[in-house]
Chain A
Amino acid sequence: MVRFLLRRLLFAALLVIAVSSGALLLTRFAPGDVTANLGAFAPPDEVARTRARFDLDRSPVAQWGGWALRASRFDFGASFLYNRPVGELIRRAAINTAILAVAALVVATLVGIPLGILTGSRRGAVPAAVRGASLVCLSVPPLLTSLFLVFLASRTGWLPPGGMTSVDVVDASWSAWMLDVAWHLPLPALALALPLAATFERLQSQAMSETIHQPFVVAAMARGVTWRQLLLDHAWRASLRSMCAIYGLAIGALLSGSFIVEYVTAWPGLGRLMYEALRARDIYLVAGCAAMGGLFLAFGSVVADLLLFAADPRVREGQAA
């Protein structure tokens, strides 16, 4: 188990290094740079100074080397857009994204898995309607889902149409702030959760329909196990293997899907920060956000492995061997 975790941690470190370095170099090689933000007719001196500040006057390799050296000391450079250290910005944004991602994951799990069990084990109008709804949720791009939910919120007034907190909580207590965040959370969380819940539903449904035809399920049925017990204690547990594998990817997908959702719903998270950084070619902020994104992905992968480890005795036995 320890060796397994060490291997995973090493993989996570490599992933973070590869993703952030790739992001830095791609931003460097993409047309345009951060100085475009100074305006079309910025004085040449100011342009040169800004290029020097962000090491754009050095070769890409030299720039990467300097950045990697500083990053190894947890100094990720400064952001052009915000004039602040990148580390400070991504810490704050990552917390906000984590709040959103956890909420979306919980919603997607609570909605997607039971519906998947339902559609995988039954036939009829309701499962068919659920399957149809899942396909719609899967095929609608996150931009449209977000805009539709913002539209719905703005027309009905049921939920705040954007942001993470209201302007009225400037002087409010900590508990009022928490309540306010909880009030703003459903809209972006739903925008993120809908396609994910649909993915869970489809996968769970397929896994369930395959499992209930397995000989051990038929045998359990012959032993007189009730249908409910059969589904939850036998078939569902056995079908979890594929679900656990998808969880790691889901955490990564939550982050990448959050780009547009956070942008449209004005949620101040990592996705929106990275989107703005990319638009502005804010090179060190892009690299910092990518590093944090890689960390999220690696974390998701470890979580998936641990879940699989817990759910599937064959994996445990394989590790032990």
Chain B
Amino acid sequence: MKTRLLGIVVTAGILAAGYALWQSPGAPGSGGSIGQVQTRGGQLVASIRAVPRSFNRLIAREQTAELLSLLTQGRLVRINRSTFELEPWLAEKWDVAQDGRTFTLHLRQGVTWSDGAPFTAADVLFTLQAVFDPKNESVVAEQLTIDGKPIAAAAPDDHTVVLTYPAASGPGLRLFDALVILPRHKLEAALKNGTFANAWNSATPPAEIVGTGPFTLREYVPGQRLVLDRNPRYWRKAADGTQLPYLERIVLQVVPDQDAELLRLQAGDIDMTQSELRPDDYVAATRAETQGKLKVVELGVGPDADAFWFDLKPEAWKKDPRFAFVSKREFRQAISYAVDREAFAENVFLAAAVPVWGPITPGNKIWFSPNVLRYPHDVNKAKEVLKSIGLEDRNGNGIVEDAQGHEARFTVITQRGIGWFERGTNELRTQLARAGIALEVAPIDNGALIKRMLSSDYEALYYRPLTTDLDPASNMDFWLSSGSGHFWNLPDESSQGREGPAVQDWEARIDMLMAEQASTTDLEKRKQIFNEVQKTFAENLPVLYFVAPRLYYAHNARVLGVVPSVQRPPALWNADSLSVRGGP
């Protein structure tokens, strides 16, 4: 009898669980039309995967610090992350002098810090002083340095700032999107006594952090969450005159695991994440969209593509005879011919990717050049090109070798635990094997990968270096042979403006072209010069790009006002204009 009773209870439990799974609760409301009227109030819960190390954006470079700066601080101007146009922000308008080097910015009247102190030009001068103080080693100092000299600033009155560039700059005021303006009245003492670099670290009481952004930090529980409340003194209003931000509160919940993050997004436990969907998550997200729980938006082609490159630093190979063919552009061109980009997109990104032939993807609409040299998939052509540099399969083992028998066999390292990196390297191994190039794949920890990359301790690498801005002049460290982001041929720490055999002729040409385009203010002329750069890059292929992913983003359907961006954070960059249904 007891056994039967237990059986009934267990069966009932299983049935109840099954019914609940089948039913699963609907979304908090249905539909999700963008056209709905936005109202003030309510709370939005977003996930973050890592905790901030500092609340001082001039010092911290990580994504969470950038996100917090977008929520709590203001800039003089901002780049709209959707249109990529420059917009007035704390500076209401500006005049450009005829020389193209002097900008007179007129600051908004009546703006106050979140603690009520007035925002003035003195805060701008203070911030620039902090950026250029070498003791602080600010992460934005390099971006605001032209030809090795800092941008000078003066304040004729409380609401005017005059910026004088040491030389003409292509990006012009766009450079100032990187600069959050910090309050002089709160941080001047730290700058004077040399502790600015440690000011506003993550142990600082939230009440100490003031800003001109739409939200203020209310609470930080390490490892758990950050709570931000509406800044009642925020200066911005919506087009209909409604005081922004709409939201009463934003909670940034720390969810380290991406699988759990997606499940919690589907459950309505969090409203949005800070990254685009992984290819594998797209189906689950669209299913949740049909149930009215989520809204899935296509962001477009991502501005960054996975990259594959060999270490082209001669010193790294010492006397390894394989460098004789690795260093030849034909060898890399053969790899480009050997890769079937359509199949690559299908197998690695589940078809959510487009073929690319250079670092600038179609996602970067202003700077993408469709006319760069392309290498259509042709394995026979790849073999021909390899043969032209003395590489062919002489012993019939399927791998090409040079006349001395040195095989084209390499170890490629990639970051462990990232699905598309591991799939990408395996796909590459399969495809290159058809042309006679053997790859051994070694997924390793990210820390070890970066260390090996910086010390040139690798043969080939598969990774996705992220660009900070779509304007190439903001990524000079990638293009210039002396740049710290010139990762296929990193300069030695001691070298200053390398010359000689370490830099190839075509690299020197790119150096020259990039310097020219960065100091040209005419956009069309800059594009022409940069097209030349892309052409040279595609001919020499120091880094090979195969596909750029199409990006999709999912957020709770109750969130209104989302203007998605291909850059991170995809939605919270525009936090002051977000609202939630059923808010107050």
A-side interface residues toward B, CB under 8 Å? 30-33, 36-46, 49, 80-84, 89, 92-93, 124-126, 147, 150-158, 160-165, 167, 170, 263-266, 268, 272-273, 276, 280-281
Query: B493 at interface (Cβ–Cβ under 8 A)?
Result: yes
A277 → chain B closest CB, angstroms: 11
Counting CB contacts under 8 A, is B368 at the interface? no
Q: In the assembly, what is the distance between CA of A211 and CA of B43, in Å?
A: 60
A124 near B3 (CB under 8 angstroms)?
yes
With A124-B3, A155-B21, A162-B269 as given contacts, are A44 and B256 in contact (CB-CB < 8 Å)?
no
Q: CA separation between A203 and B451, bound complex, in Å? A: 47
* Cα–Cα distance between A281 and B201 once the two chains are bound (Å): 20
Contacts of B448 in A (CB 8 A): 30-32, 36
Q: A126-B3, A167-B43 are in contact. Are A161 and B51 (CB under 8 A)?
A: no
Known: A83-B201, A157-B20. 14 other contacts (CB 8 A): A38-B61, A40-B465, A93-B223, A126-B6, A147-B260, A150-B260, A156-B21, A157-B25, A160-B269, A165-B224, A167-B251, A266-B256, A266-B260, A281-B447
What residues of A have a CB within 8 angstroms of the CB of B24 in the complex?
A: 155-157
Q: Are A155 and B137 in contact (CB under 8 A)?
A: no
Task: State which size class the interface on B falls in.
Answer: 35 or more
Docked complex Cα distance between A187 and B222 (Å): 22
Residues of chain A with a CB closer than 8 A to B267's CB = 153-155, 157, 161
Interface residues of B in 343-371 (CB under 8 A from A): none
Nearest Cβ distance between residue B539 and chain A, in whole angstroms? 25
Could you tell me if A158 and B137 are in contact, using CB atoms closer than 8 angstroms?
A: no
Q: How far is the CA of A80 from the CA of B447 in the complex (A)?
A: 14
CA of A89 to CA of B51, assembled, Å: 13
Determine if B260 and A36 form an interchain contact, defined as CB atoms under 8 angstroms apart: no
Return the CB mask of B143-175 against A: 1 if under 8 Å, else 0: 000000000000000000000000000000000
Known: A151-B263, A154-B269. A167 touches B222 (CB 8 A): no
Contact B223 A268 (CB under 8 A): yes
A93 to B286, CA, bound (A): 37
Instruction: Please give, as numbers and ranges, the residues of chain B lying within 8 Å of A263 by CB-CB distance.
Output: 256-257
B255 touches A162 (CB 8 A): yes
Q: Which residue of B lies closest to A80 (CB)?
A: B53
A-B contact pairs, 11 of them (CB 8 A): A31-B452, A36-B447, A46-B137, A83-B53, A124-B3, A150-B264, A154-B267, A157-B267, A161-B260, A167-B43, A266-B254
Q: Is the CB of A40 within 8 A of B223?
A: no
What separation, in Å, do the CA atoms of A281 and B447 have in the docked complex?
Answer: 8
Given contacts A266-B255, A272-B223, contact A40 B264 (CB under 8 A): no
Q: Is the CB of A276 within 8 A of B256?
A: yes
Is there contact, CB below 8 Å, between A31 and B451? yes
Number of A-B contacts (CB under 8 A): 147
Q: Could you tell me which residues of chain B, from 437 to 494, have a CB within 8 Å of some CB in chain A?
A: 444-454, 465, 477, 484-485, 487, 493
Q: Is B212 an interface residue (CB 8 A)?
A: no
Question: Once bound together, how far apart are the Cα atoms of A315 and B4, in whole Å?
Answer: 43
How distant is the Cα of A240 from the Cα of B492 in the complex, in angstroms?
66
Q: Is the CB of B444 within 8 A of A31?
A: yes
Q: How far is the CA of A39 from the CA of B463 in the complex (A)?
A: 13
- Tell whether, in the assembled complex, residue A268 and residue B224 are in contact, meaning their CB atoms are under 8 Å apart: yes
Assembled-state Cα–Cα distance A162/B485 (Å): 39
Q: What is the distance, in angstroms, from B388's C-beta to the closest C-beta of chain A?
A: 34
**Given A31-B448, A155-B21, A157-B267: A163 touches B6 (CB 8 Å cut-off):** no
Partner of B222, one of A32, A82, A153: A82
CA distance A92 to B224 in the complex (A): 12
Residues of B within 8 A of A163 (CB): 224, 253, 255
Q: What residues of chain A lie closer than 8 Å to B450, measured between beta carbons?
A: 32, 36, 39-40
| Closest 6 pairs (CB-CB, A-B) | A32-B447, A154-B267, A36-B447, A31-B448, A32-B448, A156-B20
Q: Which of A41, A43, A154, A280 contacts B264 (CB 8 A)?
A: A154
Q: Which of B240-254 contact A (CB under 8 A)?
A: 251, 253-254
In the bound assembly, the distance between CA atoms of A165 and B225 in angstroms comes to 10
Query: B202, B219, B451: which contacts A32 (Cβ < 8 A)?
Result: B451
Asked if A162 and B444 sit within 8 Å, CB to CB, the answer is: no
| B227 lies within 8 A of A162 (CB) | no
Residues of B within 8 A of A280 (CB): 447
CA distance A266 to B54 in the complex (A): 22
Q: Are A83 and B202 in contact (CB under 8 A)?
A: yes
How far does the Cβ of B476 sit from chain A's closest Cβ, in whole Å? 12
CA distance A265 to B260 in the complex (A): 7
- Report how far A92 CA is from B477 CA in the complex, Å: 42
Q: Nearest chain-A residue to B142 (Cβ)? A: A43
Determine which of B17, B224, B444 lies in contact with A156 in the assembled complex, contact meaning CB atoms within 8 Å.
B17
Q: Are B255 and A167 in contact (CB under 8 A)?
A: no
Residues on the B chain within 8 Å of A158, using CB: 20
